[in-house]
């Protein structure tokens, strides 16, 4: 899987998605979006309504929940803790 996750400083959900990838033993590329480059990011990805914003194998996911559901469906993580 090719995974790129866009995060922001201090974002709780961004921390959670990185933990999810760790549990699934998946490598990912992280791009930190700060206030200086948020405007350019929004132009490039208008579907991004918040963070984390994740692209997996070319598909865009706008929330932690969507990514978690995908990984459960693929059997990479369990719905149980």
In sequence order, which residues have a C-beta less than 8 Å from that of residue 29 and are 6 or more positions away? 3, 4, 5
Query: Which domain covers residue 24, as residue numbers?
Result: 3-73
pTM of the predicted model, to two decimals? 0.90
Query: Would you say residue 78 lies in a domain?
Result: no
User: Which pLDDT does position 12 carry in this prediction?
Assistant: 96
Domain presence at residue 80: no
pLDDT, the chain, mean:
93
pLDDT at position 13: 96
pLDDT digits (tens, 9 = 90+) for 39-59: 899 999 998 988 999 999 999
Query: In this structure, what CATH number is given to the domain that contains residue 47?
Result: 3.40.30.10
| Tally of domains within the chain | 1
* pLDDT above 70 coverage of the chain, percent: 99
Residue position matching structure tokens 């933990």: 19
């Amino acid at each position: 899987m090719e995974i790129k996750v866009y995060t922001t400083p201090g974002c709780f959900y961004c921390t959670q998605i990185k933990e999810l990838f760790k549990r699934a033993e998946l490598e990912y590329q992280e791009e930190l979006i700060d206030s200086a480059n948020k405007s350019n990011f929004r132009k490039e990805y208008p579907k991004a309504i918040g963070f984390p914003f994740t692209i997996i194998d070319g598909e865009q996911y706008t929330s932690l929940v969507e990514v978690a559901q995908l990984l459960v469906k693929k059997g990479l993580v369990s719905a149980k803790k």
